[in-house]
Chain A
């Protein structure tokens, strides 16, 4: 099945599925894959911390990095994924050009992700973060392959 993850959304799937998310700007795109079970999931989180809008976080935990990332891992553990096997990849977290500190939401998304992973002893296998281009992620659950497409170029992550 072809699954599409919208902004503030998370989906999991298995071999035979592909998961796509479009238009990653400052948002975090996080891919987690268990290569033995060939299951995985993709999160497209908009903002770093759920405390900015607890009501929204309750209704939609995937909107925030601090609630969305645990949600993605838990969903996969419930399906039998093992932490020691997980491959974790991150993309997005971009920023507009210039040095305006007010717009550093992408950097904050990345920092909160890194803190969460560090606390749980999980390393990023690959990342394509920062910069000012829009990114689209294609995740093939049969192989675990992730492709980042941006302005007509495609490269594996």
Chain B
């Protein structure tokens, strides 16, 4: 029924853009170089332009103006530039309004950037390692909403009923639709051939206690997502109807003070990054 329709909808969603896929293939490639990224982006000047806008955002901390891809790679490193290519490609999809979740145009994008910033902030604040691709995992954690939004909208009465029984929003999605946005997002990213740890973090970001194994990237995305919603970035229809895992906060050793310090730095960076790619 609904589940089949949702799966068909995932099938028909256009891929994120050839450029992102070509560059993503380079993430785990030891031979990757500025020249190879340049080649991958040659037919996509728009992506390069967006990438340079992001690279010049104060968040990445390069005081001089970056004017070319080569310069970006030498100043920020290959890994950072790859993350920016993915962000530049994902922006087009994530900037759209998302029905069902009541997110106006630009708000899912701002939320996604905020969770990336907060996740990297938590990693620094806690002095832990959470995998180099945490920025990308955080950026793409809600990508499933762009598929599921239409179905959430159509089944809102059943979702409301489930929420009334005390379920979290993602549990209500599963009750009404047979699947939640985390599972749909992971499915989508797996098809786009993203690295396995990113897909894993996206899959379990609302339910880390049920994940087959713990993973610091997943733990950090889980906490960063709740934190960004608490400070009003990407709240929408879901609000705070989600339940942060106590196992995760214990495992990370995160306290309220850590969260408040990270929150105090997140809003401004997220707004600046969102504006870097605003029309």
Contact = CB atoms under 8 A, between A and B. Distances in A.
Interface of A: 7-8, 22-27, 44, 46-49, 52-53, 56, 63, 94-106, 108, 132-134, 150-151
A128 to B, nearest CB: 14
Q: Could you tell me the dominant secondary structure of chain B's interface residues?
A: helix
B230 A63 contact: no
Contact of A96 (B244, B255, B256, B263): B244
Interface of B: 168, 226-227, 229-233, 235-246, 249, 254-257, 259-261, 263-265, 267
In this complex, which of B238, B239, B255, B263 has the most chain A Cβ atoms within 10 angstroms of its Cβ? B239
Contacts of A94: 230, 239-240
29 contacts: A7-B232, A23-B232, A23-B233, A25-B230, A26-B240, A27-B231, A46-B231, A47-B263, A52-B261, A52-B264, A53-B265, A63-B264, A96-B226, A96-B229, A96-B241, A96-B244, A97-B240, A99-B246, A102-B254, A102-B255, A102-B256, A103-B226, A103-B259, A105-B260, A132-B239, A133-B240, A133-B241, A134-B236, A134-B240
B169 to A, nearest CB: 9
Report the 4 A-B pairs with minimum CB-CB distance, sorted nearest first. Answer: A98-B243, A23-B232, A26-B230, A53-B264
A38 to B, nearest CB: 28
A9 to B, nearest CB: 10
A96 B238 CA distance: 11
Contact of A47 (B233, B244, B264): B264
B229 to A, nearest CB: 6
Q: Name which of B227, B233, B240, B243 has the most chain A CB atoms within 10 A of its CB.
A: B240
Contacts of B259: 102-103, 105
B230 A100 contact: no
A127 to B, nearest CB: 18
Contacts of B229: 25, 96
A96 B264 contact: no
Given A103-B226, A108-B256, A134-B235, 13 more contacts: A8-B267, A25-B232, A27-B231, A46-B263, A49-B260, A52-B260, A96-B241, A98-B243, A98-B246, A102-B255, A105-B256, A134-B237, A151-B239
